[in-house]
Amino acid sequence: MNENLQSVFLSEEQIKEKVKEAAAWLDERFKDKNPLAVSVLKGSVMFFCDLVRAMETPVQIDFMTISSYGKSTQSSGMPKIVMDLAASVEGRDVILVEDIVDSGNTLYKLRELLVGRGAKSFTVVTLLDKPSRRKVDIKAGFSCFEVDDEFIVGYGLDYDQQFRNLPYIAVLKREVYEK
Ligand code: PRP
């Protein structure tokens, strides 16, 4: 394992099992509804690809790049749209896929934006959830794993744009982000 990593937090097998559960949860709700699955880049990309491939329901996919952290480990509270969706969400059942809900600011802003654009429904699936850090009142419909306040990386999640391509999720050593 990389010297900056402390331990494995979630193995590939643990992630795979939960992805199946999340996909089944979505299949139950969106069968015959032609939903639009939206990946919030960059963090959710690995989870998103595995999730939509585990679903039986035909889905359309689209992407949006939002950035709120930059190099910091603290949310700026002002998420910025770096790249918008190509598709219109008007009248669509939107499934928003996140890697992590932390302060909740990103999700709060996205809900406001997409519901404001006329989405028929707005459902959130997140891989990770840090409820203890929430600053605004918002909750995912399905969250795969709850996390305490460790800094975790891998399977899409980064520290300073590194570690996103790890196939598992690991805890980053404290001295790496506190130096
Ligand atoms: C992360 C993550 C979420 C958001 C969650 O994105 O992917 O979108 O922060 O934090 P919040 O609940 O406090 O708003 P980040 O800005 O790090 O960009 P990235 O997805 O490109 O890593």
Q: Supply the pLDDT for residue 149.
A: 85
The CA radius of gyration of the chain, in Å to the nearest whole number, is 16
Instruction: Identify the H or E element spanning 16.
Output: helix 12-30
Q: Supply the pLDDT for residue 74.
A: 62
DSSP classification of residue 162: B
Q: Supply the pLDDT for residue 21.
A: 98
Q: Supply the pLDDT for residue 1.
A: 87
Which of 84, 102, 129, 158 is the catalytic position?
102
Among this protein's residues, is 102 annotated catalytic?
A: yes
- The residue whose CA is least distant from atom 3 of ligand 1 is 100
Pocket flag, ligand 1, residue 67 (CB < 6 Å) = yes
- Angle in degrees, CA 128, 120, 104, rounded to 5: 30
The residue ranges of the chain whose pLDDT is under 50 are none
Q: Supply the pLDDT for residue 70.
A: 59
- Residue 174, sorted as left (phi over 0), alpha (psi -120 to 50) or beta, turns out to be alpha
Pocket flag, ligand 1, residue 129 (CB < 6 Å) = no
Q: Supply the pLDDT for residue 71.
A: 56
